[in-house]
C-alpha cells in the first residue's frame, strides 16, 4: 500500500488572550492508501485539532505553527485557500461527533447531500438527484426516496450520522476524517456507523482516520493505531500490538479504562489524574505526572523513539529500558 497522507512535525497553537499555547506538539504520522488508521486518546489531547489541520479547516483562535502535510505527494500546507476548498469534501472529507448540529434543520436531507455535488461543479439537478439516491442505496440507507424528502429533526442521531457520511463520501474522497463519529450515539447506532465506515473503506476504497477516546473500539476497526496524549503521539503501531502488548504506561491505562458496554457515554473514569491543560508549563514526558513508573528524569526531556517490533514505536524511557 502506498502512502496517501504524510504529516510531518505538525504543531498547532491555540490563542488565549494574547498568548499562544501548544495544543499539538510536533507530531508526525502517515496514512496509507485504503487503510483505517485509529487515533486514540482522552478528551483534550489534541485529536480534533489534528484532524482539522489536515484539510486546514479554519477554527477560531487556532493556527498551525509548523509542520508539513503531504496528500498524494502534494503539499497541502502550501495550497491557497481556493485550492483547499476544492480538495475539501471532494478528496478529503470529514465527519464530526454531533451530526445533527452539522445538518441544516431547514433543508431536506436529499438537498443537503446534493449540495456537495453542486459545490464541486455538478450543475445538472437531475444528475445530482440520481447520484444522491445511488449513494444512499450504496450505503444501505433505508427507503432512500422517503429519506431524501425528510428533514433532519425527523431522524435519529444515528440516521443523521449516516446522512453526514453520505454527504462526506458522495464525491468519493480518498480520505475520510471521522472525528468521534459514534461518541454521541447509542450502542446499536455505534455498531451501524462502524460497519458503514468499514463498508466505505472496502467498497469505495477510502482511507479513514478514525478518532475515538475508546481504544477497544479503535482496535476492533483499525489496522494501525496512534496513541495521543497532551498534544504528543506516545505510541504507534499495529492495533494488535498496541492492544495486546501496549508499551507505554498511558496506553496500558487506556486499555484498563475501556468502557464496558453498559457504561457507554460515561467518561473514562479509571485513569487517576487529569489531562494537563495546554496552559500548564511542561517539559519531558507529558504523562509523567500521572505515570506510576515516572522518575525525575522523565520530566527532563521528551523521550526518543524506541522501535519495538515492526512498525511498533513508543516514546517512553521505561519502555526503552532506561527507567525501571
Ligand atoms: N477553537 C479552540 N479555541 C480554544 N482552545 C481550543 C480550541 N480547539 C481546541 N482547543 C483546546 O486545545 C486542546 C486540544 O483540543 P482538541 O483537539 O479538541 O482535543 P480532543 O479532540 O482530543 O478532545 C484542548 O485543551 C482544547 O481546549
Ligand atoms: Mg475532539
In angstroms, the CA 151 to CA 110 distance is 9
Rounded alpha-carbon distances, angstroms, from residue 215 to 52, 210, 271: 21, 11, 13
User: What gap in Å lies between CA 234 and CA 36, rounded to an integer?
Assistant: 19
- Give CA angle at 212 (181, 293), nearest 5°: 170
Compute, in angstroms, the gap from residue 225 CA to the centroid of ligand 2.
16
Ligand nearest to the CA of 276: 1
Look at residue 9 and tell me whether its pLDDT is greater than 80: yes
**Ligand with minimal distance to 39 CA:** 1
Query: For residue range 227-270, what is the model confidence (pLDDT) as tens digits?
Result: 999 999 999 999 999 999 999 999 999 998 876 654 555 555 56
Query: What is the position in ligand 1's atom list of the atom closest to the CA of 12?
Result: 12
214 found inside a domain: yes
For the residues 292-320, what does the mean pLDDT come to? 95
User: Does 21 map to a domain?
Assistant: yes
Assess if residue 267 is contained within a domain: no
Three-state SS at 40: strand
Given the C-alpha cell 464525491, which residue does it identify? 171
Is residue 101 predicted with pLDDT exceeding 90? no
User: What are the CA-CA distances from residue 309 to residues 98, 233, 312 (Å)?
Assistant: 37, 17, 5
Is 112 domain-assigned? no
For residue 12, the domain's CATH number is: 3.40.50.300
Mutate to test the pocket of ligand 1, among 10, 25, 49 (most ligand atoms within 8 A of CB): 49
241-246 — which CB contacts under 8 Å span 24+ positions? 241/308, 241/309, 241/311, 241/312, 242/215, 242/312, 243/215, 243/219, 245/308, 245/309, 245/312
Which residue minimizes the CA distance to atom 25 of ligand 1?
44
Task: Please state the rounded mean pLDDT for residues 144-167.
Answer: 96
For residue 281, is pLDDT > 90? no
Q: Which domain holds residue 192?
A: 3-91+171-261
CA 185 to chain centre: 16
Mean of pLDDT over the chain: 94
CA angle, residues 202, 176, 187, in degrees to nearest 5: 75
What beta strand segments (E) does the chain contain?
A: 3-16, 19-32, 36-40, 62-71, 74-75, 92-95, 175-179, 207-212, 224-229, 232-238, 306-307, 313-314
CA of 319 to the centre of ligand 1 (A): 29
Domain assignment present for residue 199? The answer is yes
Length of the chain: 324
In a domain, 193, yes or no: yes
Q: Please report whether residue 102 resides in a domain.
A: no
**Digit-coded pLDDT (tens) for 63-89:** 999 999 999 999 999 999 999 999 999
For residue range 180-206, what is the model confidence (pLDDT) as tens digits? 999 999 999 999 999 999 999 999 999
Q: Which atom of ligand 1 is nearest to the CA of 277?
A: 25
How many structural domains comprise the chain?
Answer: 1
Instruction: Determine the atom of ligand 1 nearest the C-alpha atom of 42.
Output: 22
- Residue 27 and residue 232: Cα distance in Å, rounded? 6
Q: What's the whole-model pTM score?
A: 0.95
Distances (CA, A) of 17 to 14, 20, 28, 63, 279: 10, 8, 28, 14, 12
Protein residue with least CA distance to atom 9, ligand 1: 49
Q: What is the mean pLDDT of residues 117-146?
A: 94
Q: What's the CA gap between 113 and 100, in Å, rounded? A: 14
Amino acid at each position: 500500500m502506498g502512502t496517501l497522507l504524510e504529516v510531518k512535525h505538525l504543531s498547532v497553537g491555540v490563542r488565549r488572550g494574547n498568548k499562544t499555547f501548544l495544543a499539538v506538539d510536533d507530531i508526525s504520522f502517515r496514512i496509507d492508501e485504503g487503510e483505517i488508521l485509529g487515533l486514540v486518546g482522552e478528551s483534550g489531547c489534541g485529536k480534533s485539532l489534528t484532524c482539522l489541520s489536515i484539510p486546514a479547516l479554519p477554527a477560531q483562535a487556532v493556527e498551525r505553527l509548523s509542520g508539513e502535510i503531504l496528500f498524494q505527494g502534494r503539499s497541502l500546507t502550501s495550497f491557497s485557500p481556493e485550492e483547499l476548498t476544492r480538495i475539501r469534501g471532494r478528496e478529503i472529507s470529514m465527519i464530526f461527533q454531533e451530526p445533527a448540529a452539522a445538518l441544516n434543520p431547514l433543508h431536506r436531507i436529499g438537498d443537503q447531500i446534493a449540495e456537495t455535488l453542486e459545490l464541486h461543479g455538478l450543475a445538472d439537478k437531475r444528475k445530482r438527484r440520481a447520484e444522491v439516491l445511488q449513494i444512499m442505496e450504496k450505503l444501505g440507507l433505508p427507503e432512500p426516496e422517503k429519506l431524501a424528502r425528510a428533514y433532519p429533526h425527523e431522524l435519529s442521531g444515528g440516521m443523521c450520522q449516516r446522512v453526514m457520511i453520505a454527504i462526506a463520501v458522495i464525491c468519493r474522497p480518498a480520505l475520510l476524517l471521522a472525528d468521534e463519529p459514534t461518541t454521541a450515539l447509542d450502542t446499536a447506532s455505534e455498531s451501524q456507523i462502524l460497519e458503514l465506515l468499514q463498508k466505505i473503506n472496502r467498497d469505495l476504497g477510502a482511507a479513514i482516520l478514525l478518532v475515538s477516546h475508546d481504544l477497544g473500539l479503535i482496535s476492533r476497526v483499525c489496522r494501525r493505531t496512534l496513541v495521543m496524549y497532551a498534544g504528543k503521539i506516545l505510541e504507534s503501531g499495529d492495533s494488535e500490538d498496541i492492544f495486546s502488548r501496549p508499551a507505554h504506561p498511558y496506553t496500558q491505562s487506556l486499555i484498563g479504562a475501556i468502557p464496558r458496554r453498559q457504561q457507554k457515554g460515561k467518561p473514562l473514569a479509571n485513569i487517576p489524574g487529569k489531562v494537563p491543560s495546554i496552559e500548564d508549563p511542561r517539559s519531558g514526558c507529558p504523562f509523567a505526572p500521572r505515570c506510576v513508573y515516572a522518575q525525575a528524569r522523565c520530566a527532563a526531556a521528551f523521550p526518543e523513539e524506541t522501535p519495538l517490533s515492526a512498525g511498533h514505536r513508543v516514546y517512553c524511557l521505561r519502555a526503552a529500558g532506561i527507567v525501571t
